[in-house]
Structure 1
Amino acid sequence: MGYGLVVRFTATDEAAARAFDELVATTLEGIRAHEPGTLVYVNHRVPDEPRVRVFYELYADRSAFEVHEEQPHVRHFLAERGQYVESFEVTFLNEVAGKLPAGSVGK
């Protein structure tokens, strides 16, 4: 059963939002290369809110999320994001039903 979360970040200013995007891009390199249990990890811009970013993350299961959290590239992201972000809100999600990426669990 899938496990996910949505995180809404508000950057301190637009320059910080751009720097945050660069930090995310670097983090994504590690996620793509080392995390088969991370099914979806997307950073979204919000129209008309240039300082806001919304992450959607979907993992094969809770264990895959825990593996994600322990990766060096994720630990680096967590340590560095504070210099760009004034606030964030996390909502954890448990899958009920839906369409998942091809080859993922719970088709």
Structure 2
Amino acid sequence: MFALVVRFDLRDDAAATEFDRLTSETLPLIETHEPGTLVYATHRVENEPLARVFYEVYRDREAFESHEHQPHVVRFHADKEQCVASVRVEFLEPSATKGPHISR
């Protein structure tokens, strides 16, 4: 299992609207074309209207690398740049877990 959390801080309300549009356009393509992407959850942050957090879980590092090279993800990364003020990526190491068994 390979997981990460990404926090995006967006420039302004217009950027947040565009970022959300890009996300909603990209998510169905991830669901359809990426069997190694196990969880791709996007969140708004309570009381921070310009913040978004993505929680991503992949079968393994190779599935993550495959995700990063998909045309829809490459397009998302390019198009989101106009919206983002800052980004923070944290790669996670598995620890105690509750949920479906996923081999490490």
- What SS is found at the alignment partner of 1:95? coil
Kindly tell me the number of residue pairs found equivalent between the two proteins: 104
Instruction: Please give the TM-score of this superposition, normalised by the length of structure 1.
Output: 0.90
Tell me what 1:73 maps to: 72
Instruction: Please give the TM-score of this superposition, normalised by the length of structure 2.
Output: 0.93
Tell me how far 1:18 sits from its aligned partner: 1.5
Tell me what 1:41 maps to: 40
Contact 1:5–1:56 (CA<8 Å) still a contact in 2? Answer: yes
Distance 1:49 1:67 in 2: 31
Contact 1:43–1:55 (CA<8 Å) still a contact in 2? Answer: yes
Q: Post-superposition, which runs of at least 4 consecutive aligned residues in structure 1 deviate over 4 A?
A: none
Tell me what 2:3 maps to: 4
Tell me what 1:106 maps to: 103
Partner deviation per Cα, 1:67-103 (whole Å, 9 max, x = no partner): 10110000001111110111100001121231344xx
Contact 1:100–1:106 (CA<8 Å) still a contact in 2? Answer: no
Contact 1:10–1:53 (CA<8 Å) still a contact in 2? Answer: yes
Distance 1:25 1:106 in 2: 29
Tell me how far 1:29 sits from its aligned partner: 1.5
Distance 1:87 1:41 in 2: 20
CA RMSD of aligned residues (A): 1.5
| 1:62 corresponds to 2:61 | yes
Tell me what 2:19 maps to: 20
Distance 2:3 2:96 in 1: 13
Identify unmatched segments of 5+ residues in structure 2: none
Aligned amino acid, residue 88 of structure 1 = V
Instruction: Percent identity, please.
Output: 54
Aligned amino acid, residue 73 of structure 2 = V
